[in-house]
Amino acid sequence: MEFLLYFGDVFSPFNFMLLLIGTIGGLILGATPGLSPTMAVALLIPFTFKLDATQGLILLGAAYTSTVAGGAVSAILLKIPGAPANIATTLDGHTMAKNGQGARALQLSFISSAIGGVFGVMLLIFLTPVLAQWALAFGPSHLFWLAILGVTVIGSLDSSSVVKGLLSGCIGLWLATIGFDDVMGAQRFIFHSSVSGGINIIPALIGLFAIPQVITMFARGRQQHGAEVIKVEKSPIMESIREVFRRTRALGIGTMTGSFIGLIPGVGGQIAGLVAYDQARKTSREQKKFGTGHSEGVIAAESANNAMVGPSLVPLLTLSIPGSPTAAVLLGGLLIHGIFPGSDLFENYPDVAWTFINSMLIGQILMCIFGLYVAGLAARVAQVPNAVMAAVVLALAVFGSYSVQNSMGDVYIMAALGTGMYFLERFGFSAAPLVLGLILGPIAEANFVQGAMIANATSSMAGYFFTGALNLTLITIVLASIAYSVWMELRQRRYLSKEDTLEREEQPS
Amino acid sequence: MKKLIAAASIALMGLAGAAPAQDNYPERPVMMMVSYGAGGATDFQARIVTMTAGNEDALGMPIAIVNKPGAGGRVGWNWLATQVDADGYTLGAYNVPHFIAQSIEGGVEYSTDSFEPIANWGADPAVFVVGADSQFNSMEDVVNYAKENPGGLTFSGAGLYVGHHIAALQLEKAAGVKLAYIPNNAGGAGAMKAVIAGDVLGGVNNLSDAFRAEKAGNVKILGVFDNERSDFLPDVPTMKEQGYDIDNASVNFRGVMVPKGTPQPIIDKLAEIVPTMFENDRVKGKMEAGGSPMHVMTRDEVIEMWAAREETLKELLSGL
């Protein structure tokens, strides 16, 4: 309960102003395609040089919180996920926006973000020592199985068929091998200097999601002169709040998955949203509605990616190990003030540590209030004519890809992947499994290689990868997940008539 | 945002026509490429040591950091060696022995001849760490274990052909044992996590990071891969003191360089001013607070250091 003592510090006028700046600035930066939370926090670091440690961290904590949620804005309205965490939000969120329910989608996403986020920070406050053990429990063999578990999700994720899902996952896995490999430094498939550093995930995300949509919009603009005007439905806030609490299953799954998967260093933050979405769908009674603008999809994905914020800092605050790129940037922000995070951080600098955590807590709520305020206005984006919209999205896509590392190479990668994806989508493949393959490939590979090296030096491969409670649990979940997908596929084939199948495949995705 | 604006203004000025105005260099903001991601030790230190560049007594123009991470630094250094205009407006941060070892290994488009050093700001030695509850209490314990279990002593490091890997090779050679070096894909932080979590029996890591981890009570530091003890760790003996003939070839030197072909007057001016920037009190204070050991060297000293490193590394890596 110690944290309550430091709440006063957050509300001193100057600190509160910083909190507001961090939150609003974070929302704007987060909503800008290409500016991932990591980048946004890194951009703010120079401003903290002039502030004292507590103030600097209030700014950074608030910005981190709200950039993650801000990413949902571009994911929902433009179908450009700002970071891997927002991929799952596009699946139902953007469909809702296209149906004129953009305001509702945004409100749902901000409310569930805030609930997930507060829960995550609460875990950070009360369960840090336990969580630290959990974060350390995952060695190379466990991370390998966890990545394989992610691969099994690929087949069932947003695709007309499991086979097509797996195929696009394989394309993603192949793309992930381009560049110098992570462990040994071998060169693979480097056919052009743009790809010598491998395929950066942010430009790939922008390209795969935004470009096919841009091309479709341009194509459609030609065909129909009087392009249909989407009616943006008004959405009362109370209605959305009630909706979120009606969907407790999706909210619970999202929050728990986000908190516990998000904690695992290096892996969690990237896949928490997708895994939560997949789990929410598998356990939902209205499975068929997922992907067609269903509220549960948005709630699960967004509660998961904000629930991750608090726990993802556990390894940093207790063990001094940054578990994610954003945590690494925050570590820099701490070090610059001479504060070494570690198990004694809360004893040596309670004012800094607790004020930082409190600011994330208050930040979640402020973020939700501002988010709800702009949701209605922002949703009007859907009314912008196709031709204008396509041009704006294209410009943002180029800007976002370039700004990641000031490289034209990334823009070429974005454009090439996006154009390729347009054609793949016409054949019923979808971008989400492909991106998941791209994210999971390096994790699975690097951990397998490391695990194999350790196994060869100490025991046997079989002993290292197939024994131990955590390994066996993960393997069991993997098998269950595969069995479930196979069963669903068979059941679907039995009950679907030929006409249904044809109709499903003709629907543009 | 600052970075973007700086980069954009650089691009615009470039279009406006390049007058041969070396006398009043620099006339516009200067860009410095860091070949590791934002938040890493190199990036963090580069931002601190360049923060006073805009002062009147320094360059009078700010230095904007641009990150080009990937493939252990190869992407950024390839870019600096082949893609940029050698007009003094694009600097790069170097990490020795990384880029020299990579150029000896091959497959990259640079070598020490592709760059001109300006000045060195930091030297971060490698140290040997084990978990806080490890059975090992000295390097002798570690080497004895390795002798009993040839190839069975697993220890982590930040990757291949980086300082940690060089230190590992030196240890194998000096102690005459076979070890299992496990390169980590998540860099120094990932390698440290592997030690603390007990995935491996020990690890080579940066002194600055190990110092923090030791203070947090997570690891024990058994030896320093340097010629002298460190001010941060006066109680930890060097490898030489423990009977292993290991010099400072693995020490991670960080500094500023420019691509070959940059006009000599600009190189001279930078070589004169940049070291004074590193000596600035505010810079020194921030670096010390962050636990980053400083070691300022002038251009001539760096040229010598590069040449010496290249020779040692060629010999060390020839056995691979």
Contact A197 B72 (CB under 8 A): no
Q: Counting Cβ atoms within 10 Å, is residue A468 exposed (0-12), middle (13-18) or buried (19+)?
A: middle
**Do the beta carbons of residue A135 and residue A126 sit within 8 Å?**
no
* B2 vs B23, higher pLDDT: B23
How many angstroms separate the CA atoms of B185 and A445, rounded?
A: 10
Does B178 lie at the interface with A, CB-CB under 8 angstroms? no
End-to-end CA distance of chain A: 49
* A293 vs B320, higher pLDDT: A293
The CA–CA distances, whole Å, from A444 to A2, A195, B190 equal 40, 21, 15
For the entire predicted model, the pTM comes to 0.85
Q: Which tokens go with B283?
A: 């810079």
**C-alpha R_g of chain A:** 22
**Partner residue facing A319 (CB), from B69, B78, B196:** B196
CATH of region B2-124+251-318:
3.40.190.150
Q: Which tokens go with A319?
A: 């063990």
Contact A180 B74 (CB under 8 A): yes
Supply the mean pLDDT for chain B: 88
Same CATH fold, B126-224 and B2-124+251-318? yes
How many angstroms separate the CA atoms of B2 and B19, rounded?
A: 25
Contacts of A319 in chain B (CB under 8 A): 193, 196, 213, 216, 218
**pLDDT for res A509:** 43
Q: Which tokens go with A127?
A: 């369960």
Does B213 lie at the interface with A, CB-CB under 8 angstroms? yes
Task: Find the closest chain B residue to A183 by CA distance.
Answer: B185
**pLDDT for res B225:** 95
Element (H, E) at B295: strand B294-297
Q: pLDDT band at residue B313, thresholds of 50, 70 and 90?
A: very high
Which B residues 260-319 touch A at CB under 8 Å? Answer: 286, 289-291
Interface mutation target, options B133, B162, B193, chain A, most CBs of A under 10 Å: B193
**Do the beta carbons of residue A46 and residue B53 sit within 8 Å?**
no
Q: pLDDT band at residue B83, thresholds of 50, 70 and 90?
A: confident
* B311 vs A315, higher pLDDT: B311
What is the rounded average pLDDT of the residues B137-157? 93
**B253, pLDDT greater than 60:** yes
Contacts of B43 in chain A (CB under 8 A): 332
**pLDDT for res A119:** 94
Task: Find the closest chain B residue to A347 by CA distance.
Answer: B216
**B9, pLDDT greater than 60:** no
Interface mutation target, options A131, A190, A321, A439, chain B, most CBs of B under 10 Å: A321
**Do the beta carbons of residue A348 and residue A50 sit within 8 Å?**
no
**pLDDT for res A23:** 92
Contacts of A42 in chain B (CB under 8 A): 38-39
Q: Shortest CA distance to A272 belongs to which of A425, A122, A68?
A: A68
How many angstroms separate the CA atoms of A263 and B21, rounded?
A: 54
Contact B4 A184 (CB under 8 A): no
**B232, pLDDT greater than 60:** yes
Q: Which tokens go with B78?
A: 């390839």
Chunk chain A into consecutive blocks of 10 residues (it has 509) and report each block's average pLDDT, rounded to whole numbers: 78 90 89 80 78 87 88 88 85 88 91 94 86 84 89 72 84 90 80 82 90 87 56 80 90 90 75 86 84 90 90 84 80 78 79 87 91 83 80 89 83 95 90 89 90 89 89 91 80 62 52
Contact B213 A405 (CB under 8 A): no
According to DSSP, the β-strands at A179-180 and B202-206 are: unpaired
**Partner residue facing A136 (CB), from B1, B197, B291:** B197
Q: How far is A119 from chain B (nearest CA, A)?
A: 26
B297 SS3 class: strand
Q: Shortest CA distance to B37 belongs to which of A202, A224, A49?
A: A202
Does B180 lie at the interface with A, CB-CB under 8 angstroms? yes
**pLDDT for res A331:** 83
Q: Counting Cβ atoms within 10 Å, is residue A497 exposed (0-12), middle (13-18) or buried (19+)?
A: exposed
| A161-220 pLDDT, tens digit each | 778 888 888 999 999 999 887 777 788 888 887 787 788 888 998 999 999 989 988 887
Contact B193 A265 (CB under 8 A): yes
Q: Counting Cβ atoms within 10 Å, is residue A7 exposed (0-12), middle (13-18) or buried (19+)?
A: middle
Contact B2 A450 (CB under 8 A): no
Place of tokens 């110098």: A180
Element (H, E) at A284: none
Q: Which tokens go with B247?
A: 């010099």
Contact B182 A450 (CB under 8 A): yes
| B95-139 pLDDT, tens digit each | 999 999 999 988 888 999 999 999 999 999 999 999 999 999 999
How many angstroms separate the CA atoms of B250 and B227, rounded?
A: 11
Q: Counting Cβ atoms within 10 Å, is residue B261 exposed (0-12), middle (13-18) or buried (19+)?
A: exposed
Q: Which fold has domain B126-224?
A: D-Maltodextrin-Binding Protein; domain 2 (3.40.190)
Does B47 lie at the interface with A, CB-CB under 8 angstroms? yes
How many angstroms separate the CA atoms of A45 and A41, rounded?
A: 6
Element (H, E) at A338: none
Q: Counting Cβ atoms within 10 Å, is residue B206 exposed (0-12), middle (13-18) or buried (19+)?
A: buried
Q: Counting Cβ atoms within 10 Å, is residue B275 exposed (0-12), middle (13-18) or buried (19+)?
A: buried
In sequence order, what are the beta bridge partners of A272? none
Contacts of A403 in chain B (CB under 8 A): 4
**pLDDT for res A504:** 55
Interface mutation target, options B44, B161, B192, chain A, most CBs of A under 10 Å: B44
**C-alpha R_g of chain B:** 20
What torsion do the CA atoms of A95, A96, A101, A106 make, to the nearest 10 degrees? Answer: -110
How many angstroms separate the CA atoms of A147 and A439, rounded?
A: 9
Number of other CB atoms surrounding residue A61 within 10 Å? 31
Residue A46, C-beta contacts closer than 8 angstroms, at least 6 positions apart: B2, B47, B51
What torsion do the CA atoms of A206, A207, A213, A218 make, to the nearest 10 degrees? Answer: 120
**Partner residue facing B215 (CB), from A196, A340, A403:** A340
**Do the beta carbons of residue B238 and residue B94 sit within 8 Å?**
no
User: 3-state secondary structure string, A41-52?
Assistant: HHHHHHHHCCCC
**B222, pLDDT greater than 70:** yes
Does B194 lie at the interface with A, CB-CB under 8 angstroms? yes
Contact A322 B194 (CB under 8 A): no
What is the rounded average pLDDT of the residues B271-299? 89
Q: How far is A320 from chain B (nearest CA, A)?
A: 6
**Do the beta carbons of residue B244 and residue B175 sit within 8 Å?**
yes
User: 3-state secondary structure string, A110-153?
Assistant: HHHHHHHHHHHHHHHHHHHHHHHHHHHHCCHHHHHHHHHHHHHH
**Partner residue facing B107 (CB), from A187, A193, A341:** A187
Contact B183 A197 (CB under 8 A): no
Which B residues 26-45 touch A at CB under 8 Å? Answer: 37-40, 43-44
**pLDDT for res B216:** 80
Amino acid at A29: L
**Partner residue facing B70 (CB), from A43, A198, A342:** A198
The segment with the largest mean pLDDT, out of A58-62, A432-436, B50-54, B242-246, is B242-246
Does B108 lie at the interface with A, CB-CB under 8 angstroms? no
How many angstroms separate the CA atoms of A164 and A245, rounded?
A: 35
**Partner residue facing B67 (CB), from A187, A405, A453:** A405
How many angstroms separate the CA atoms of A300 and A272, rounded?
A: 10
A472 SS3 class: helix
Domain regions of chain B by residue span: 2-124+251-318, 126-224
Place of tokens 């509220």: A295
Task: Find the closest chain A residue to B82 by CA distance.
Answer: A193
**B2, pLDDT greater than 60:** no
| B158-180 pLDDT, tens digit each | 888 889 999 999 999 999 999 99
Q: How many beta-carbon pairs under 8 angstroms link A with B?
A: 174
According to DSSP, the β-strands at B294-297 and B252-259 are: unpaired
Q: How far is A95 from chain B (nearest CA, A)?
A: 32
Q: Shortest CA distance to B155 belongs to which of B111, B110, B202?
A: B202
Contacts of A353 in chain B (CB under 8 A): none
The interface pTM score, or ipTM, of the predicted complex is 0.82
Task: Find the closest chain B residue to A140 by CA distance.
Answer: B199
Interface mutation target, options A49, A50, A319, A320, chain B, most CBs of B under 10 Å: A320
Q: Shortest CA distance to B26 belongs to which of B53, B51, B47, B66?
A: B53
Q: Counting Cβ atoms within 10 Å, is residue A311 exposed (0-12), middle (13-18) or buried (19+)?
A: buried
**pLDDT for res B22:** 65
What DSSP line would sit under A171-221, residue for residue? Answer: HHHHHHT-EE-TTT--EES--SGGGTT---HHHHHHHHHHHHHHHHHHHHH
Place of tokens 């950074």: A60
What DSSP line would sit under B195-212, residue for residue? Answer: HHHTSSSEEEEEHHHHHH
**pLDDT for res B19:** 45
Instruction: Give ∠ CA A496-A502-A508 in degrees, rounded to 5.
Output: 120
How many angstroms separate the CA atoms of B144 and B149, rounded?
A: 9
User: By percentage, how much of chain B surpasses pLDDT 90?
Assistant: 58
Task: Find the closest chain B residue to A406 by CA distance.
Answer: B66
According to DSSP, the β-strands at B180-183 and B202-206 are: unpaired
Instruction: Give ∠ CA A244-A245-A251 in degrees, rounded to 5.
Output: 70
Give all strands of the β-sheet with B252-259 in edge-to-edge order: B63-67, B30-34, B90-96, B252-259, B115-124, B294-297
Q: How far is B1 from chain A (nearest CA, A)?
A: 6
Contact A336 B215 (CB under 8 A): no
Interface mutation target, options B2, B36, B63, B75, chain A, most CBs of A under 10 Å: B75
